[in-house]
Amino acid sequence: MSAMILLAASVACAYMPVASIRWIDRDYDFGLMKEQAGPKTGHSRFVNLGPDTISIFSVKPSCGCTSAEFSDAPIAPGDTALIAYTYDPEMRPGKFDKSVKVRLSNGDRYSIRITGNVLGTPESLATLYPVDAGEMRLTDAVIEGLLGREGEDRSHQAQERLRDVPEG
């Protein structure tokens, strides 16, 4: 009996339409981008190599800093589809690593990885990291968890040194 069920499942799978895609460009690195230059757009493309027409069902960026655009038009066998995404660097200095989730009409799911590094403006750095500590900026003048050799708390010494750093 189980052999009959297995045979029936195999035959059913053989007749199910199978979409096969090949990514031309999948992941995208924005490289170094200046915050003051504003949002940047990248794109990913894939080709429908399967025998059936498919479409993009949904595209969802991992956070609000990224938006995405795509066409839900049918993608015939041999046709290419484009997904565009825009990263907004405003008040987001530093490295970023985000994902854009793609779901096709046949249920297949893919993840596009977008990366880059934002060179922040002096204003955003001063807002996000208000404590000037010489070569670096900190979010807070209190540095917790500094212990000496004997296990004594030395965070007060670090706070005193930060107070001595000249403004500027």
In whole angstroms, give the CA distance from residue 161 to residue 164.
5
For residue 106, give both structure tokens. 């046949």
- Angstrom CA distances, 154 to 140, 145, 161, stand at 16, 8, 11
The model carries a pTM of 0.70
pLDDT, tens only, 126-154: 888 888 777 777 777 666 655 555 656 55
Residue 111 has pLDDT above 60, yes or no: yes
Is 107 exposed, middle or buried, given 0-12, 13-18 or 19+ CB atoms closer than 10 A?
Answer: exposed
* Each residue's pLDDT tens digit, 86-109: 999 999 999 999 999 999 999 999
Tell me how far the alpha carbon of residue 40 is from its chain's centroid. 13
- Residue that has been written with the tokens 């500027």 in this structure: 168
